[in-house]
Structure 1
Amino acid sequence: MIFSNFHTHSYFCDGIGNPEEYVLKAIQSNFNSLGFSSHAPLPFSNSWTMKEEDVNRYLNTIINLKKKYTDTIQIYLGMEVDYIQNLISPTDEKFKKLDYTIGSVHMLKNEATGEYLAVDGDEDEYIELITSAFNNDVKAFVHKYYEQIQTMVLKNTPSIVGHLDLIKKHNKNNKYFDENEDWYKLEIMKTLNVISKANTILEMNTGGKVRGYTNDFYPSNWIVDECRKLNIPLILSSDAHNPSYVNAYFEEASAILKGAGYTNQHVLLDNIWQTAPL
């Protein structure tokens, strides 16, 4: 198996540890490549993305690590870029110098107040989204989230689509909606059909389980089965916010992929996206 991880966050955003600590952990874990994907700055105040004034330092830090470890591990420079319609997207000009982007939807707008609230923030914010922004209509909330992912993939296609069903982060044991109901599965299938037609990769993200929010990964096992039927390429990632989690649950996630019929994952090696055996 080719070991790699392209979804990592250091102290440049909401992770802990400096980037070199992630590199050293990846080398210790026999990785072939490692990608850095700090949260790109958002055009409004928040506590979890990189600050605009730190972007150049981030870029230079990763570039210098590339050079320092060039004979040991391949290092790639990316960002996790939010898609917020008419505000920011993974294909904005300023991101074209990166090796890759992870496109994610974290924020939804409360049309009544103009405020943007996080799908994966604290649970009170999640409740506020459902109750205030969507008037207690959980189906409308879920629909808007997946609609934003579909629009991003269609119009501003990232290299990798991040944590597809992040909306379930606070929904352990179906607390707010039943993920087994047909209406929910229909939203997923609409989104997968869009992804299957795009030149992009979907990640198998272990981060929710790593941090204790979910019992499984992003996406859920049944979604992985559907991805295989649609021939959607997948990549393993841990969404590491701590160097010790660079390869967290990779063996378990790999077994799920194999169980769904995948024999390969996608990786960035020698500056080319290519398949590698699981």
Structure 2
Amino acid sequence: MLTDYHNHLERGTLTLDYLKLFTNEAKKKGIQHFGISEHAYHFYQTKNILSNPWVDERRFYDMADYVALFHQAWDQDIDVKMSIEMDYTPGKHKEMEAFISQYDFDYVIGSIHWVDDFGIDLKEYIQEWEKRDLHDVYKKYFDQVVTLAESNLFDIVGHLDLVKIFKYVPTDEEFLLNEYDRATTALSNSKTAVEISTAGLRKPVGELYPDERLLQMCFDKNIPIVLSSDAHQPNDVGADYDQAVAFAKRIGYTSLMTFEKGERIEVPLG
């Protein structure tokens, strides 16, 4: 069985025709568990959770239209899960919980894209990497992974070590492994699964998320996984899954977690 739970419609339209391009690609690639998880910051209903100039320029959806799209798909027997990718925002737990609880999501992804006012994965902010203390950014990033896990608001944590996207990685291995350890300990005490994401292969870092040492810690602490492509266009659905499956099996994983309206079912990987 294969999953692809992390996909975005934002470069197209919230229409059934555009959605079908994604679901048809998933079917073609043998992905049995497929979901759309649009960025929550695009929706007017999340303004009280995350707001900054970069985000506010990109807030153009209404949740009513998003939910209606899935109902159209289900009415036509299109098997697609409804999800959201929420920017985990420290200090906004009540607001995030209130938003999530309003909708009948099959699962919710929590991701970290912001460290204070620094959009760590955005090209518009890339010059900031040279201005900031690398260890400080990493520590603050993994601080958020810990509190994301402790919140227990999310079913999946997205691209667990996204912070490496532009190849700014501490050379101090002891420091790095300590950050990995405390993040995975927190995740192991939560309901949160980790995704193996092939998106990193299409980014400057040129490798899967998460790092092999980090995924090994996940496995050793019995943290479940899903597979995701983080596709922002239809042809990236299930991209490079041969590498993702081989990676998971090499670490020792033999199963994936699946989600449906809050129900979690473990299925064989492969």
Equivalent residue number for residue 227 of structure 1: 218
What is the Cα deviation at residue 259 of structure 1?
0.9
The aligned residue for residue 77 of structure 2 is: 69
Question: Aligned pair 1:117/2:118, yes or no?
Answer: yes
1:196 aligned residue: 188
Letter of the 1:68 counterpart: Q
**In the alignment, structure 1 residue 3 sits paired with structure 2 residue 41:** no
Map of 2:240 onto structure 1: 249
Contact 2:194–2:226 (8 Å) recurs in 1: yes
Which structure's residues are more often helix, by fraction?
2
| Equivalence map 1:172-187=2 (5 Å) | 175=168, 177-178=170-171, 181-187=173-179
Shift of 1:26: 1.3
State how far apart, in whole Å, the 2-side matches of 1:252 and 1:105 are: 24
Distance 1:64 1:137 in 2: 48
Write the mapping of 1:206-217 to structure 2, written as runs, cut at 5 A. Answer: 206-209=198-201, 211-217=202-208
Structure 1 position 165, deviation (Å) = 0.4
SS at match of 2:154: coil
* Aligned match of 1:23: 23
Match of 1:105 in 2: 112
Q: Indicate the SS of the match to 1:187.
A: helix
- For residues 48 and 27 of structure 1, the distance between their equivalents in structure 2, rounded to whole angstroms, comes to 35
Identity %, equivalent residues: 26
Structure-1 separation of matches of 2:62 and 2:12: 9
Give, in whole Å, the separation in 1 of the partners of 2:21 and 2:246.
27
Query: Which whole-Å CA distance do the structure 1 matches of 2:197 and 2:225 have between them?
Result: 10
Residue 90 of structure 1: how far off its partner (Å) = 8.6
- Secondary structure in structure 2 of the residue aligned to 1:223: helix
Residues 261 and 156 of structure 1, relative CA distance in 2, 3 Å threshold: closer
Check 1:77–1:94 CA distance in 2 against 1; reply closer, same or farther (3 A cut).
same
TM-score, scaled to structure 1: 0.83
**Cross-structure match for 1:112:** none
Does structure 1 retain, via aligned residues, the 8 Å contact 2:229–2:239? yes
Query: What's the C-alpha RMSD, in Å, of the aligned pairs?
Result: 2.6
The more displaced of 61-70 and 35-44 is 61-70
Structure with more contact order per residue of length (Cα contacts < 8 Å, sep ≥ 6): 2
Which residue is 2:89 aligned to? 84
Show the counterpart of 2:36.
36
Q: Is the 8 A contact 2:107 2:262 kept in 1?
A: no
Deviation for aligned residue 1:126: 3.6
Aligned to 1:146: 142
- Secondary structure of 2:37's partner? strand
- Structure 1, unpaired ranges of 5+: 110-115
For residue 265 of structure 2, the aligned residue among 258, 263, 274 is: 274
Equivalent pairs counted in the alignment come to: 257
